[in-house]
């Protein structure tokens, strides 16, 4: 079966443990960034059709952390920015939909 997608590091090992062949290669920086973007789209699509929401959210976080790492951004920096935005703009808990603005 043809995949051509970014997979977690242990996936080839898991495939081999099932007596199957895994043909892989190591992505260069450009391909890695592209495949991370594709993986994020894949995981967000799965979030809305999947049955295990917690697992899909964990996958999305893992991809986000990989993107951050590829761009030399630490998890701590992301969390700091998240908390700053939370303090300034709060959550989404009130379910406010902005329809339009004007003068």
Backbone region of residue 20 per phi and psi (left: phi > 0; alpha: psi in -120 to 50; beta: other values): beta
- For residue 51, tell me if it sits in a domain: yes
- For residue 83, tell me if it sits in a domain: yes
Inform me whether the pLDDT recorded for 50 exceeds 80.
no
Total tally of structural domains belonging to the chain: 1
- For residue 76, tell me if it sits in a domain: yes
Q: What average pLDDT does the segment 78-96 reach?
A: 87
Inform me whether the pLDDT recorded for 54 exceeds 80.
yes
**Quick one: 92 exposed, middle or buried, by C-beta within 10 A (0-12, 13-18, 19+)?**
exposed
Q: Considering the chain, what is the average pLDDT of its residues? A: 91
Inform me whether the pLDDT recorded for 96 exceeds 90.
no
- For residue 38, tell me if it sits in a domain: yes
- For residue 94, tell me if it sits in a domain: no
- For residue 55, tell me if it sits in a domain: yes
- For residue 11, tell me if it sits in a domain: no
Range of the domain at 71: 28-89
- For residue 35, tell me if it sits in a domain: yes
Q: Which pTM was predicted?
A: 0.80
**Quick one: 2 exposed, middle or buried, by C-beta within 10 A (0-12, 13-18, 19+)?**
exposed
pLDDT digits (tens, 9 = 90+) for 2-11: 899 999 899 9
């Amino acid at each position: 079966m043809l995949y051509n997608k970014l997979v977690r590091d242990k996936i080839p090992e898991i495939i081999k443990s099932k007596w199957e062949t895994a043909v892989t290669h190591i992505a260069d920086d450009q391909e890695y960034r592209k495949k991370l973007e594709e993986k994020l789209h894949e995981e967000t699509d799965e979030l809305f059709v999947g049955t295990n929401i917690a697992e899909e959210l964990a996958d999305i976080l893992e991809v986000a952390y990989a993107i951050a790492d590829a761009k030399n951004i630490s998890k701590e920096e992301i969390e700091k920015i998240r908390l700053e935005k939370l303090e300034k703009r709060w959550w989404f808990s009130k379910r406010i939909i902005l329809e339009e603005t004007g003068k």
